[in-house]
Amino acid sequence: MDNLEHLISMNMLLATLRMAVPLILASIGSVICERSGIINLGIEGMMLSGALGAVIGTSVFHSPWIGTLSAILMGGAFGLIHAVLCIRYHTNQAVSGVGINIFSSGLTIVLCKAIWDKEGLSGEVAQIPAVTIPFLHKLPVIGPLFDNQSPYLYITILIVAISWYMMYRTKTGLRLRTIGDHPQAAAAAGIDVTRYRYTAVIICGMLCGLSGSFLSIVQSNLFVKEMVAGRGYIALAATIFGGWNPLGSFLASLLFAFSQAVRITLDFNIPEQFLQMLPYLLTMFVLIIAGGKAKGPQASGDIKD
């Protein structure tokens, strides 16, 4: 009974939102990227590079907000690498993404060793402080949503709204969706397919870098080797389950985050290892059920202009 009460409590909602932030940011980036026709399996590596970039920026400039900017730039750089490999050199997109994951995993360890002389561990840095929104935090029922929360939460919700509006209410979004489905027709209509694809992949990298920074300077205060822990792949699952729609990916990310929050918030009389498996089992289940029925951009993986 206690677990049931906790399951529908405000604490569970807040825990779910906190867990969802990195998933939402990465999945929105994935949606934008794949809507341009470029498959990105390198989300995990881009998030990992962003996590380290945030710590390096914070350490050097003594400001976690500059650390956030560093994470965005680091993720954007990896996005550019993926874009050049896939668009300029027509590299297999899946191989490029997996290569970015492997490269990022090794690079972050090397940089930790070079900068802090530690194996896969950085020094401690300042965190992004939580904020309380005046007046709103006193509202009944929903007040806790505005009390002592990370600014990343509000930034993430804003990004979801902007990305959905851009995708379905602007000419830019219409062109992006057209490129993802019919790139030759888009090119014939005078749309610069290459420029749109470069922009989409770089934005994806930037959002993944922002996502990674949440793990290292909001949820924690240091970088740890492989701290992304599969969240990039969960974000990919959210992209598919959400129908390549920013709002759908947002809701799918909440579902996966809820499974993580259950493990942390509730007390079950079963081994901890089984609870840790829950988010990944749910990811596999969703991909098995929805993967075969999901229809992504028709030209996904097509690099012809």
Q: What tens digit of pLDDT does each residue of 157-197 get?
A: 999 999 999 999 999 999 999 999 999 999 999 999 999 99
Q: How far apart are CA 32 and CA 182, in angstroms?
A: 16
Whether the CB-CB separation of 30 and 36 falls below 8 Å is answered with: no
Residues 217 and 104 sit within 8 Å (Cβ to Cβ): no
Model pLDDT, residue 119: 84
Cβ burial 198-234 (10 Å sphere, 16+ → b, else e): bbbbbbbbbbbbbbbbbbbbbbbbbbbeebbbebbbb
- Look at residue 168 in the predicted model and tell me its pLDDT: 95
Mean pLDDT of 234-242: 91
pLDDT at 82: 97
- Residue 271 sits at φ, ψ, to 5 deg, of -55, 140
13 or 263, higher pLDDT: 13
Closest CA to 30 of 220, 219, 238, 215: 238
Q: Which amino acid is at 107?
A: L
- What's the DSSP call for residue 149? B
**Is 3:211 a contact under the CB 8 Å cutoff?**
no
Q: What is the pLDDT of residue 4?
A: 54
Residue 1: pLDDT band by 50, 70, 90 thresholds?
Answer: very low
Show the CA angle centred on residue 40, arms to residues 99 and 195, nearest 5°: 110
Q: Is residue 275 over pLDDT 90? A: no
Q: What is each CA distance from 270 to 3, 263, 267, in whole angstroms?
A: 14, 11, 9
More confident of the two residues 224 and 292: 224
Q: What integer pLDDT is reported at residue 120 of this predicted model? A: 85
- pLDDT, tens digit, 9 for 90 and up, residues 92-123: 999 999 999 999 999 999 999 999 999 889 99
Task: Give mean pLDDT, residues 2-28.
Answer: 84
* Mean pLDDT across the chain: 90
Lowest mean pLDDT among 20-24, 67-71, 278-282: 278-282
For 64-102, what is each residue's pLDDT tens digit? 999 999 999 999 999 999 999 999 999 999 999 999 999
Reduced to 3 states (helix: H, G, I; strand: E, B; else coil), residue 131 is strand
Check residue 264 and give its pLDDT: 74
Q: For 224, list phi and psi in degrees, rounded to 5.
A: -125, 140
Secondary element (H or E) of residue 280: helix 272-291
- Report whether pLDDT(292) > 90: no
> What pLDDT score does 261 carry?
84
Share of residues in the chain with pLDDT > 90 (%): 72
Per-residue model confidence as pLDDT tens digits over 37-56: 999 999 999 999 999 999 99
- State the Cα–Cα distance between residues 182 and 187, nearest whole angstrom: 9
Does residue 302 carry a pLDDT above 80? no
* Residue 196 burial (CB count, 10 A): 21
pLDDT (average), residues 123-129: 95
Give me the pLDDT at residue 266, please: 65
